[in-house]
Amino acid sequence: MHIIDSHFHWWPRSIWEQLCKRKGYPRAEPDGKGGYRYLRQEKGSDYVLNVWPAWFDLDEQLAHMDGLGHEVDVVCSIGPFSVCFSELPKEEGKDYAIAWNEEMAGAQKKYPGRVWASAGVPLQDTAMAIEVLDDAVNRLGLMGVNLPGSIGADPRIDTERLEPFYDHVEKLGLPLFLHPTDAVFADALDGYDGALFLSLGRVVEVSVAAMRLVFSGIMERHPDLKLVMSHTGGTLPYQSGRMDKNGKKAKLPQEPSTYLKRMYSDTVSPHMEGIKFAIEYYGVDHVMYGSDYPCWMPTDALRLLSEVGLSEEDQQKILYGNARRILGLRDPEKPAVRQDTPVAVPA
């Protein structure tokens, strides 16, 4: 079976090694086990982003996918680390984002037609965000863009100054991958060695971020914006009625759920009933398979999806066809054969 994993994380080690050289915050430090700790600030929440060796070796990651017994292609999104580009000093954030995007483009080139990658952008400055995005698409050939759930510690991704950025993403027809950043709610949900934040904080953050795009009118003003929600849309499919009931003060032309159902989602939920409800809520044409690897095991992700009870046609959509269509994935162009190239003639 041919599968596209729409929620897959590969992080270039070179970026983390560079962050380890920074003196201030944010910065990274080796964990002594082949991974790193990402430190956003000196004091505050006890939450620290820890990443282990499996995040950094793309060859080994793809070998793991080969072991599933299927033909698996992957779409690289950044995940919580996307916050980094927007909380560094402006010019430094730009440099890190471009370096990240160049690494992603290198992976696409190394594995054409099997690895697709999306761009990181620094959102501290709108014009700079657009400049970096254009470079990622036009020079490097990346297929989408990542939207962190916050701009550094600022949760207002709906700020008025970013309207030209959303307008530009819409005009380019790019998928916009929304993922929590771990920069907000961590203080309120601290303790338990990160258990409360990791289990609840991320789904709350992605839900709040998406509703900011709805209540602000960004989704209304940009009807062709392709927003891809992580983690089955967080809490939103299950609280959609509450959004409609209590969201009237936002004075939108349509009910909030109308905009939510225009979004796209993955199947990243360790809960078969949650996956099933997300498919029913968004519609089978708006959902793509994702494993969140290496945070979650593809064997579990595929098993739970198989337990939903989809028809063969709908399963094929979610495992492969929807990602091709929604994300605009295209087979790489084959090099043209020169007319003067000699053709071998069988003896």
Whether 281 maps to a domain, the answer reads yes
The reported pLDDT for the residue numbered 289 is: 98
The reported pLDDT for the residue numbered 219 is: 98
Whether 160 maps to a domain, the answer reads yes
| Predicted confidence pLDDT, tens digits, the chain (347 residues) | 999 999 999 999 999 999 999 999 999 999 999 999 999 887 655 568 889 999 999 999 999 999 999 999 999 999 999 999 999 999 999 999 999 999 999 999 999 999 999 999 999 999 999 999 999 999 999 999 999 999 998 999 999 999 999 999 999 999 999 999 888 888 888 889 889 988 999 999 999 999 999 999 999 999 999 999 999 999 999 999 999 999 999 999 999 999 999 999 999 999 999 999 999 999 999 999 999 999 999 999 999 999 999 999 999 999 999 999 999 998 877 655 455 544 343 33
Whether 36 maps to a domain, the answer reads no
Domain containing residue 126: CATH number: 3.20.20.140
Whether 272 maps to a domain, the answer reads yes
Whether 299 maps to a domain, the answer reads yes
Whether 343 maps to a domain, the answer reads no
The reported pLDDT for the residue numbered 346 is: 39
d(CA 306, CA 290): 13
The reported pLDDT for the residue numbered 80 is: 92
Number of folded domains in the chain? Answer: 1
Whether 208 maps to a domain, the answer reads yes
Boundaries of domain holding 284:
2-8+69-326
The reported pLDDT for the residue numbered 14 is: 97
Query: What does pTM read for this prediction?
Result: 0.93
Whether 296 maps to a domain, the answer reads yes
